[in-house]
């Protein structure tokens, strides 16, 4: 058995003294594991950073076997953010999430393409935290748990949508949620309107929103707790939200 595909490196764990098992999110073969000979060494392992893009050749005698990877790094994404701790954490948080929730060997081509676009946008001068929130909402949708932000669940209105129900994942207007606003999640405007201004606290609110549904629908069923890099992203966003206006 053999195939070649493009993939995003999600994780690497040591196997024995010198080898490593690497998880990739590939475009046509989904999340796939493979053994890399010498992948645990300092020299080889330095190139196997989560978030980097590679061309992978997978080989195995039988399809159900772990098999081996031969990787050629195309885009050393992680290396590009070594001097930007915030964007590096966002990159690693995305890789951690995919590694935790994607079923093995099931293709998700649209999600892969959206993830590549997300990684490309991290290089641009845009708020990286907002990019992560939008991408996480896309992960939820791709795996069958999309948020419905089209209209108010209580009134049907499409105006002044400022909340999301933590139970249904549907938007709620200010009027529709007036009696129980304290039990609803905040809906930052940028999640509905890509052109909306991003106010102080919007990214933190967005991370709380997507984090609630990621935990409920994907992480908890998989037996996973908070992801370390995402925790750092959330903490950083919360600190920024408390900063006084200049």
pLDDT (0 to 100) of residue 54: 96
pLDDT digits (tens, 9 = 90+) for 214-242: 999 999 999 988 899 999 999 999 998 88
Reported as a pLDDT band with limits 50, 70 and 90, residue 3 is: very high
Domain identity same for 74 and 124: no
pLDDT (0 to 100) of residue 243: 56
| pLDDT over 90 (residue 246) | no
In a domain, 118, yes or no: yes
Domain identity same for 119 and 230: yes
Q: pTM for this one?
A: 0.94
In a domain, 129, yes or no: yes
Domain identity same for 66 and 16: yes
pLDDT (0 to 100) of residue 41: 81
Reported as a pLDDT band with limits 50, 70 and 90, residue 245 is: very low
Q: Look up the CATH number of the domain holding residue 67.
A: 2.40.50.140
Q: Chain-wide mean pLDDT for the chain? A: 93
In a domain, 135, yes or no: yes
In a domain, 121, yes or no: yes
Reduced to 3 states (helix: H, G, I; strand: E, B; else coil), residue 69 is strand
In a domain, 178, yes or no: no
Per cent of the chain over pLDDT 70 is: 98
Domain identity same for 191 and 132: yes
Domain identity same for 50 and 8: yes
Tokens standing for residue 235: 């903490």
Cβ atoms 32, 58 nearer than 8 A: yes
Domain identity same for 133 and 227: yes
Domain identity same for 75 and 135: no
Q: Which residues contact 156 (CB under 8 A, 6 or more apart)?
A: none
Residue 104 burial (CB count, 10 A): 10
In a domain, 161, yes or no: no
pLDDT (0 to 100) of residue 220: 95
Domain identity same for 41 and 122: no
In a domain, 193, yes or no: yes
Reduced to 3 states (helix: H, G, I; strand: E, B; else coil), residue 75 is strand
pLDDT digits (tens, 9 = 90+) for 92-147: 999 999 999 999 999 999 999 999 999 999 988 778 999 999 999 999 999 999 99
Chosen domain end from 30, 61, 79: 79
pLDDT (0 to 100) of residue 156: 97
Domain identity same for 116 and 238: yes
pLDDT (0 to 100) of residue 125: 75
Domain identity same for 42 and 137: no
Query: Residues 145-177, buried b or exposed e (16+ Cβ, 10 A)?
Result: eebebebbbbeeeeeebbbbbeeebbbbbeebb
- Counting the structural domains of the chain, the total is 2
Domain identity same for 194 and 237: yes
pLDDT (0 to 100) of residue 46: 75
Cβ atoms 170, 148 nearer than 8 A: yes
In a domain, 176, yes or no: no
Residues 8-25, mean pLDDT to the nearest whole number: 94
Reported as a pLDDT band with limits 50, 70 and 90, residue 72 is: very high
Reported as a pLDDT band with limits 50, 70 and 90, residue 244 is: low
Domain identity same for 6 and 74: yes
Chosen domain end from 79, 99, 120: 79
Which range marks the domain in which residue 61 is found?
2-79
pLDDT (0 to 100) of residue 168: 97
């Amino acid at each position: 058995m053999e195939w070649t595909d493009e993939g995003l490196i999600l994780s690497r764990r040591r196997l024995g003294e010198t080898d490593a098992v690497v998880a990739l999110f590939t475009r046509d073969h989904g999340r796939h594991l493979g053994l890399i000979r010498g992948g645990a060494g300092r020299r080889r392992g330095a190139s196997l950073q989560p978030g980097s893009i590679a061309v992978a050749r997978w080989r195995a005698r039988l399809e159900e076997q772990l098999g081996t990877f031969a990787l050629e790094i195309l885009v050393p994404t992680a290396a590009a953010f070594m001097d930007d701790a915030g964007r590096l954490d966002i990159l690693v948080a995305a890789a951690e999430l995919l590694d935790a929730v994607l079923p093995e060997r099931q293709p998700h081509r649209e999600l892969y393409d959206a993830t590549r676009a997300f990684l490309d946008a991290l290089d641009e001068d845009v708020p990286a935290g907002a990019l992560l929130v939008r991408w996480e909402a896309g992960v939820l949708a791709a795996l069958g748990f999309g948020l419905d932000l089209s209209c108010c669940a209580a009134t049907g209105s499409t105006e002044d949508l400022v909340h999301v129900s933590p139970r249904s994942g549907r938007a709620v207007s200010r009027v529709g949620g007036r009696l129980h606003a304290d039990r609803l999640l905040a809906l930052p405007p940028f999640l509905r309107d890509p052109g909306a201004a991003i106010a102080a606290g919007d990214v933190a609110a967005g991370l709380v929103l997507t984090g609630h549904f990621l935990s409920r629908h994907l992480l908890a069923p998989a037996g996973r707790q908070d992801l370390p890099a995402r925790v750092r992203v959330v903490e950083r966003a919360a600190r920024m939200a408390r900063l006084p206006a200049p």
